[in-house]
């Protein structure tokens, strides 16, 4: 089994034990969804696709696992670090990069490093794609606009 699948097994085992059907559904849709949008953005931006996919899988896991979104980026980062250390499949540098992206992902207004930005954009993109008819949350609007411009520029150059 590859490393991404190992992470998915861990995430699945937590989500499958959630009591509420709706929480389980939201957890699977959002974590797998952000993992896919993160992978796609990493391919486009020349970043590490595997780390991007793993960060997407883990970024909101603490919220789903606890049913509490308080301080969820920091708690998510700590949970990801614990889980990745336990698995023993990732280097210290890889774990630090994933943990940092998760810790920063709620701060959509700031511009951070490339992997941090990727996770923020992947989160915004997934909320957008899940229901394009819904207007963006206030904190997502600017990023959604930038993503839309990037995609339009790309289409015109193809
Ligand atoms: Fe999220």
Per domain, the residue ranges of the chain are 3-157
Homologous superfamily in CATH for domain 3-157: Hypothetical protein af1432 (1.10.3210.10)
Confidence class for position 89, pLDDT limits 50, 70, 90: very high
57-to-69, 84, 149, 154 alpha-carbon distances in Å? 16, 12, 26, 27
Write down the number of H helices and E strands in the chain.
8, 0
Q: Is the pLDDT at 81 greater than 90, yes or no?
A: yes
Cβ-Cβ contacts under 8 Å for 31 (sequence gap 6 or more): 11, 15, 56, 57, 58, 59, 60, 61, 64
Q: How far is the CA of 46 from the centre of ligand 1 (A)?
A: 22
pLDDT more than 90, % of the chain: 92
Predicted pLDDT at 154 = 77
Which pLDDT score is estimated for 151? 87
Residue 157: predicted pLDDT: 76
Residue 121 Cα to ligand 1 middle (Å)? 10
Distance 157 CA to ligand 1 centre (A): 30
> How far away, in angstroms, is 88 Cα from ligand 1 center?
25
Arithmetic mean of pLDDT, 60-89: 96
39 phi, psi to nearest 5 deg: -60, -45
Find the mean pLDDT for residues 130-134: 95
What's the CA-to-centroid distance between 133 and ligand 1, angstroms?
Answer: 18
| 8's tokens | 């998915």
Confidence of residue 153 (pLDDT cuts 50, 70, 90): confident
155 CA distance to ligand 1 centroid (A)?
A: 27
Dist. CA 89 → ligand 1 center (Å): 24
Cα 35 to middle of ligand 1, angstroms: 10
pLDDT computed for residue 155 by the predictor: 72
CA–centroid distance, 30 to ligand 1, in Å, is: 7
Q: Is the pTM of this model over 0.85?
A: yes
């Amino acid at each position: 089994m590859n490393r991404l699948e190992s992470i998915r097994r861990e995430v699945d085992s937590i989500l499958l034990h959630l009591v509420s059907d709706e929480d389980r559904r939201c957890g699977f849709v959002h974590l797998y969804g952000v993992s896919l949008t993160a992978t796609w953005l990493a391919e486009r931006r020349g970043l590490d696709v595997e780390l991007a996919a793993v960060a997407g899988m883990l970024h909101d896991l603490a919220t789903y696992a606890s049913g509490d979104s308080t301080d969820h980026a920091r708690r998510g980062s700590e949970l990801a670090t614990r889980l990745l250390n336990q698995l023993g499949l990732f280097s210290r540098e890889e774990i630090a990069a994933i943990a940092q992206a998760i810790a920063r992902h709620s701060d959509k207004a700031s511009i951070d490093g490339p992997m941090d930005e990727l996770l923020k954009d992947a989160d915004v993109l997934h909320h957008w794609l899940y229901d394009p008819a819904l207007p963006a949350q206030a904190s997502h609007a600017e990023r959604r606009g930038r993503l839309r411009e990037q995609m339009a520029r790309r289409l015109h150059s193809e």
